[in-house]
Amino acid sequence: MDNCKQIIQGSRGFSLTELVIVIAIASTLLGIATINYHQWQVKYNVEAQVRTMATNFSELRIRAMTTKQRQSITVNRQSYSFKSYSSDDEPLAAGTVTPPATRSVSYALKTNSSTYYSGQIFEIDHRGMLVSPPGTIYLDSTGSAGVDCLNIQVVRINPGKKNGAWSSCDDQ
């Protein structure tokens, strides 16, 4: 019994210095984790936007082939929309907007490092092939996302990674 009393009386807890050091270390680790979490979240959101756009554009090509109707994609700075046409003679300005009318995006859509999209139309014929010139859609974002641009070619649409000079979108 005397041993138990000595052990209990010898335990006084932590000193103020020890508590301050532990709190400082915990705060530093929490700060690093928060920064990494934010970077990861931005990376995920950029990649999700590119993959969603690639899926939507590919579905539009499939719709063009299955319905045997011309389709178009109109790309703006903060959104894109689809239209279908009843004939090959119908002007691009006409057409029926495919619901939902406008698909908003979180990261602005750019043609290159300094120019944003503003009503650019990509036309797809009834065979699912791009009629208008091929193009690249870059997302206005910073970070280390694995994919952050979209190559729109005559017969395919591929997500990619922009190079440092914004001169190309390398397929991923």
Mind listing the pLDDT tens digit for each residue in 70-103? 999 999 999 999 999 988 888 988 888 888 778 9
| DSSP, residue by residue, 117-146 | -EEEEEEE-TTS-B-SPPEEEEE---S--S
9 versus 36: which is more confidently predicted? Answer: 36
Does residue 2 lie in a domain region?
Answer: no
Angstrom distance (rounded) from CA 73 to CA 50: 15
Report the alpha-carbon distance of residue 63 to residue 167 in Å, rounded: 31
Is 1 inside any structural domain?
no
Q: How many CB atoms lie within 10 A of CB 25?
A: 10
Task: Give the structural domain span for 127.
Answer: 14-171
Instruction: Centre a 10 Å sphere on the Cβ of residue 13 and count the other Cβ atoms it contains.
Output: 6
The reply to whether 85 falls in a domain is yes
Domains of the chain: total: 1
For the question of whether the overall pTM of this predicted structure is more than 0.85, the answer is no
pLDDT value at residue 3? 59
Within-domain flag for 149: yes
Please check whether residue 3 lies inside any domain of the structure.
Answer: no
- Answer yes or no: is 119 within a domain: yes
**What integer pLDDT is reported at residue 19 of this predicted model?**
86
Residue with tokens 């006084």: 12
Q: Which residues pair with 82 in a beta bridge?
A: 73
pLDDT at 2: 57
Work out whether strand 109-110 and strand 157-162 pair parallel, antiparallel, or are unpaired. unpaired
Any idea what the CATH number is for the domain that residue 60 is in?
Answer: 3.55.40
Q: What is the C-alpha to C-alpha distance for residues 153 and 110, in angstroms, rounded to an integer?
A: 17
